[in-house]
Amino acid sequence: MKSPLTIITAVLLAPLAALHAAPSSDARIIVASEAGAKLDSDVTKGGGTDDTALIQGILDRAPKLGSLKLIVDGPILVTGLTVHSNTNIECLNRACGFYLADNSNRPLIINATPQPEGRDDWNLSFLGGTYNGNAEHQKHSTREHGWTTAFALHGVEQVLFRDVAITNSRTFAVYLTNWRRVVLENIYINLDHIPTRSNQDGIHVQGPGEFLSIRNVQGRAWDDLIALNIDDLLGDWDSEGKFGRDPASMKLFGSAAGIGHVTDVDIDGVVADDCAQVLRILSRASRLDRVSIRNVKGTYRDFGVWVTPYLREGGNIGRLEFENIDLRPVGPRGYDYVPPFLFWIAGKMEQVTLKNISSHAPVDDRPLVWIQPDAKIDRLRIDGLNVYDPRKEPGHAPLIRADGRIELLQVRDVVVQRPKAQSPAGSLIATSMDRSALRAFMDARAGIVTPPGKGRRGWPEGNGYLTSQPQIQRLQISDVVADGLEHVLDHQAGTIETLDLRDLSIPTVTKAVHQGGEAKISKTHEASPK
């Protein structure tokens, strides 16, 4: 006969035992080790047993079961996996995850029904763990699978990445096209292998898509850390002048990759760790609208933020906002096809805002904001520009170079500190027709990207790119504290219809407005100069 204490103990412990056994009793929840996975690989080194067949067999149960949760409790070697709707892959820690076997030459993870139109794969989540693409032992791309990425998701809805590390992908870490409601949160990316080759973007997004949230991304990429390349190489014009998918480009991107408008993008929290390029925004004809990018910091080499059309076309951007950007150039450059910059702004757009932009102890004279000759902007607002330059001999390059066509350019709340400068140099804003560096680039690039019989297709380019005059309908400059500049405005080319100057504190400035050549200013309004 059992004692009362034994009976009471058994009753109390029974619920705990039941909870512990729950994963094994639910066919929709599968633990990799319990299912027979060897877990003898390594997420950094690879090797071990190829468990592709076992893991894929588990993932293929999702359609029949209605939902599936795979718990990965160790490192697994695979040749690539396909996920179905209502699939959750959860890795217990960073030592758990997947390593792409040598010569797999396909994405590590792809959705079951990739397609450029329609979204048949729903409710996918990837939680925790490490996904290693083994870049050194993969082809850049294949005709069968397109680019060799870590994740390739084409035609998906309701996708969640959280606490995921993606390393050593041969090309993009995450490749998204034809998507809706995607969240990437707490993502670590390290693509520092094969640094002499391109297309190693961190998160590469193409259209069509809506409702994208990217929060807390940290890491390194030898191309763009985050790229919103809406129609990229995928789109082109047919003989009737209609823009659509370019069959020739599908050989590289994959036949399932989409093209189309992208709206409602929120990016908050990016830390770049010695990236070649940090942010890329690209639109040829497809619409990009309602995009907010905040709290971006870290180090880079070549390009901080690149907003541009592609090849022949002028772009299609609605509202684009940047806030709290502190990116600092370091180290030797990896790309030399255009001069370096913090912001490059080109193409047709309606409203662009740059708020709280910082430059701290620059290593060269790259412009902080370079508005290109092919820019056509309704309104560009730079609100809060903080520059600290302790060099004894700061460069003569302008901080803001305005070479495009702008209806309204507002520059306010600017602080420039050059405490050790031996003499004033450079300007806050300048217009110029000096495009020798761009001409040299286009001459060098033309032979690479010009298809036979199609004429010159330099990048960037457009009709009159190198000969167009800057045109600013209204330029407003206010609340400026400038120490160590020679001019606030150095107007060397083109036309400014109305110039508004307000609240300038510029003790070292030789002349606030310098006008040269045939440059014109039709009207000037000045208030409270100091």
Q: CA-to-CA distance for 41 and 47, rounded, in angstroms?
A: 5
Pick from 15-24, 171-180, 266-275: least confident: 15-24
User: Does 17 reside within a domain?
Assistant: no
Structurally, the chain folds into a number of domains equal to 2
| Six token digits for residue 455 | 């004429």
- Buried (b) or exposed (e) across 361-395, using 16+ Cβ within 10 A? ebeebbbbbbbbbbbbbebbbbbbbebebebeebe
Q: Is residue 337 part of a domain?
A: yes
Q: Which pLDDT value is given to residue 334? A: 76
Residues 179, 87 within the same domain: yes
Give yes or no: residues 326 and 395 share one domain: yes
Residues 179 and 229 in one domain: no
In angstroms, the CA 288 to CA 209 distance is 10
Considering the domain architecture, whether residues 404 and 341 belong to the same structural domain is answered as yes
Query: Within this chain, do residues 366 and 499 fall inside the same structural domain, yes or no?
Result: yes
The encoded tokens of residue 182 equal 């995607």
- Model confidence pLDDT, tens digit, residues 92-124: 999 999 999 999 999 999 999 999 989 999 999
| Tokens read off for 181 | 């409601």
The better pLDDT of the pair 141, 63 is held by 63
pLDDT recorded at residue 335: 77
Q: Which of 132, 166, 194 is the last residue of a domain?
A: 194
Do 291 and 375 have their domain in common?
A: yes
**365 three-state secondary structure:** coil
Distance, in Å, from the CA atom of 145 to the CA atom of 143, rounded to the nearest integer, reads: 6
More confident residue, 471 or 432: 471
Give the helix/strand (H/E) hosting 446: helix 436-449
> What domain range is 360 assigned to?
211-233+247-436+480-530
Q: Please indicate, yes or no, whether residues 398 and 356 belong to a single structural domain of this protein.
A: yes
Give the 3-state secondary structure of residue 21: helix
The two three-digit tokens of residue 202, written as one number: 């961190």
The model's pLDDT over 344-367, given as tens digits with 9 standing for 90+, comes to 999 999 999 999 999 999 989 999
Gap between the terminal Cα atoms of the chain: 98
pLDDT of residue 409: 98
d(CA 44, CA 95): 9
Task: Please answer whether residues 78 and 100 qualify as being in contact, where contact means their C-beta atoms are separated by less than 8 angstroms.
Answer: yes
Task: Let me know if residue 455 belongs to a domain.
Answer: no
Say if residue 24 is exposed, middle or buried (CB neighbours under 10 Å; 0-12, 13-18, 19+): exposed
- pLDDT single digits (tens) 29-42: 999 999 999 999 99
Within-domain flag for 403 = yes
Q: Are residues 221 and 173 in the same domain?
A: no
What the block records as the tokens of 209 is 């898509």
Between CA 479 and CA 415 the distance in angstroms is 9
Q: What is the CATH number of the domain that holds 160?
A: 2.160.20.10
Mean pLDDT of 195-222: 90
Asked if residue 491 belongs to a domain, the reply is yes
Q: E strands along 399-494, which residues? A: 400-402, 405-417, 427-431, 471-482, 487-491
Give yes or no: residues 222 and 166 share one domain.
Answer: no
Written as six digits, the tokens of 15 are 């619920």
Q: How confident is the model at residue 510 (pLDDT cuts 50, 70, 90)?
A: confident
Q: Are 103 and 42 members of one domain?
A: yes
> pLDDT > 70: what percent of the chain?
85
CB 413 within 8 A of CB 386: no
- Assess if residue 353 is contained within a domain: yes
82 and 152 housed in the same domain: yes
